[in-house]
Amino acid sequence: MDTQMLIRIVVGVLMTAIVGVFAVKRVLWLTKLIRSGQPVSESNNRKDNLRKRITTQFEEVFGQTRLLKWSIPGIAHFFTMWGFFILASVYLEAFGLLFDHDFHIPLIGRWDALGFLQDFFAVAVLLGIITFAIIRLTREPKKLGRESRFYGSHTGGAWLILFMIFNVIWTYALVRGAAVNTDALPYGNGAFFSQFMGWIMAPLGYTANVWIETLALLAHIAIMLVFLLIVLHSKHLHIGLAPINVTFKRMPDGLGPLLPVESKGEIVDFEDPAEDAVLGRGKIEDFTWKGYLDFTTCTECGRCQSQCPAWNTGKPLSPKLVIMNLRDHMFAKAPYFLDGKESPLENTPEGGLGEELRGEKKSEEHSHEHVPESGFERVMGSGPDQATRPLVGTAEELGVIDPDVLWSCTTCGACVEQCPVDIEHIDHIVDMRRYQVMMESEFPGELGVLFKNLETKGNPWGQNAKDRTNWIDEVDFDVPVFGKDVDSFEGYEYLFWVGCAGAFEDRAKKTTKAVAELLATAGVKYLVLGEGETCNGDSARRSGNEFLFQQLAAQNVETLNDLFEGVERVDRKVVVTCPHCFNTLGREYPQLNGNYTVLHHTQLLNRLIRDKKLVPVKSSESGMDITYHDPCYLGRHNKEYSAPRELIGASGAKLTEMPRHADRGLCCGAGGARMWMEEHIGKRVNVERSEEAVDTGASAIATGCPFCRVMMTDGVDDVAATRDVEKPEVLDVAQLLLGSLDKGSVTLPEKGT
């Protein structure tokens, strides 16, 4: 054995052994941490439908389908990720070369095709990190401030990773180039980059290339080992954890329903809750193992932040920073709860760790740059050590999550939709709201009015139930009411669920009447519940008042089950005009034994047009220029983008899309119970969206949601007043269709028939 081989073996094995010990120790600790999270209930099964889960993992991890939605960074990431998969064969060869100068992988180690792939992806990775560097330089937070999606991220760590990848590539180039000149490269001309490097290094001579090969080989292995340690102690944990998080994500079509309240792995029975039941998440130990997995998987890429309507309008909420702060708090507090100790908030007289444990300064790992704006100081890190903070702060006490952050969320789902590693931001935000509402009675004052109206009147407006049928008096055709005009669903095809907005809000009532007339024109047999309806509970649930949601939902399920008694599941058809009703009745009521076939009115109307039961004509009036606003709970939450657009086309209108539309559409600002809360910080979300709509130059704005219609109408009023421009009309797609309808000789049923 010559001197160089001895150096290779001793140094290479020693480095690998030392790093291996630290790496294994870290992996075991992370595994223990994630497994320490609260269990999930059987209904929140994360291990069902394994075939689909594995298929999804292949699509999202190996196919990079989510990342490729953003083409340039997506392509760069695709080749970088696959580069590391392919270059794993290079590291196998590198460790083999420690012991054997002529080592090659058995069977495939001399194939030119493999040599070509290794070189191709080495060059692709180099181009990829150059692309990332350019993106980061042009989107630098110090230049762009809040407009940068990297704002608040640990940018130093990102640059370190890019530097380490660069080190991997240049040491690879030296090893391969030298190997060409020492006859150690097992590949021919297929390894084009290696042959090129060999040509450059050939003038150095054989002896120099031998030493370069040895030194570069050891450097190549050392860099990768250091890279491994950096990954295990940084945001780049996602390299190993992303495939796991994708595998165990929720698997609905769309974003899916909110999960029931769980405590210690069991769904809370609100009729008889356990005395020690924790309603929501009040401290980091209350989160499930999937929550811990979410926190540790975050890549800090900021895609969620860039799409968040709250962040884009000056609010302190960034979905990215919420997850980052929860992660930092979890890591800081983990040494206590992992060993079964009481939390530092509970085991010291002053509620702190003490000087000797806390230290004078926060760890750099757990700090974010300070932002001197309302609410941001507490969000981004000044104050006591992370481990001593309460989960949600108050006006007097610094928390991991600021109340302004918690209550700014519209639950629009843009963060979940854009996250490349399937973090479930909304679930965590709503769970923290649940604890604040049901355990602490801490919530914005406006919600107190909402809760009272829902409890006493069964609707957010506080109107009397008898007024739910007032809209029927304003139409000149018959609308049968269950329990008043008819006593059975027999002979009817649909229940028309009008909803609170559709019954009480003047603008939404226009949609209700348009849909009722369209259904009657098409000869659809339908009835309504009238006073039998009560609020579906969407706003109560998303504001954290699960107890109130359960009451409202149980009442509605009882009413609906009574209506559909004896009717087959597939024939229990409900049509709604509100996407929030659509989502709640169709996707959340099954949690309470309420199983129905729920259609949004745009879906049913589209079907009626295809069946020629409605025949629109392209009149001059219906040929207006329209822009369409996607309701979040119809689009992102339930993946219905085509039906409303097809109706706009069928009506003869010209559709002009806003820059942000479909799965990247901007929320109107009403979701997550924000409809009932004032916006005290930053720009109003509905004004931001209305400006975008007005900028298209369209003469009208169409939508398919009563909440969106209210918010867009108010927003357009503000925009028209400040810009002195002509105000576009805001209307529902159903009204647009009705205006272009060829009713022919259809005779609507007269009242009382």
608-652 pLDDT, tens digit each = 999 999 998 865 455 689 999 999 999 999 999 999 999 999 999
- Distance from C-alpha of 674 to C-alpha of 433, rounded to nearest angstrom: 13
CATH number assigned to the domain covering 625-739: 3.40.50
Q: Please state, as a whole number, how many other Cβ atoms lie within 10 Å of the Cβ of residue 183.
A: 10
CATH topology of domain 262-355+370-442: Fumarate Reductase Iron-sulfur Protein; Chain B, domain 2 (1.10.1060)
End-to-end CA distance of the chain: 103
Residue 303: predicted pLDDT: 95
Range 89-96 contact pairs with CB under 8 angstroms and sequence separation of 24 or more? 89/114, 89/118, 90/118, 90/122, 90/172, 91/221, 91/224, 94/175, 94/217, 94/220, 94/221, 95/12, 95/16, 95/221
- Answer whether 262-355+370-442 and 457-610 agree in fold: no
Mean pLDDT of all residues in 511-515: 97
Query: What distance in Å separates the CA atoms of residue 175 and residue 610, rounded to the nearest whole number?
Result: 65
The single-letter code of the amino acid at 153 is: S
Q: What is the pLDDT of residue 396?
A: 77
Question: For position 379, what pLDDT does the model report?
Answer: 39
Q: How far apart are CA 462 and CA 456, in angstroms?
A: 8
In this predicted structure, what is the pLDDT of residue 420? 94
Query: Does pLDDT of 100 surpass 80?
Result: yes
According to CATH, the topology of domain 457-610 is: Rossmann fold (3.40.50)
Kindly state the average pLDDT of the residues 580-594: 97
CA-nearest of 296, 301, 309, 314 to 152 is 301
Q: How far is CA 676 from CA 363, 392, 410, 540, 718, in A?
A: 40, 22, 11, 11, 19
**Region 145-165: what's the mean pLDDT?**
94
Categorize the per-residue pLDDT at 339 as very low, low, confident or very high, splitting at 50, 70 and 90: confident
Query: Which sequence spans correspond to the domains of the chain?
Result: 3-23+66-247, 262-355+370-442, 457-610, 625-739
pLDDT value of position 617: 81
| Mean local confidence (pLDDT), 390-413 | 93
Task: Say which range, 48-57, 195-204, 487-496, has the weakest mean pLDDT.
Answer: 48-57
| 415-455 pLDDT tens trace | 999 999 999 999 999 999 999 999 999 999 999 999 999 99
Position 383 pLDDT exceeds 80: no
Q: Confidence band (pLDDT; 50, 70, 90) for 3? A: confident
CB 432 within 8 A of CB 281: yes
For the chain, give the mean pLDDT. Answer: 90
Cα–Cα dist 454/551, whole Å: 10
- How confident is the model over 219-237, as a mean pLDDT? 94
Give the residue carrying structure tokens 């000087």: 355
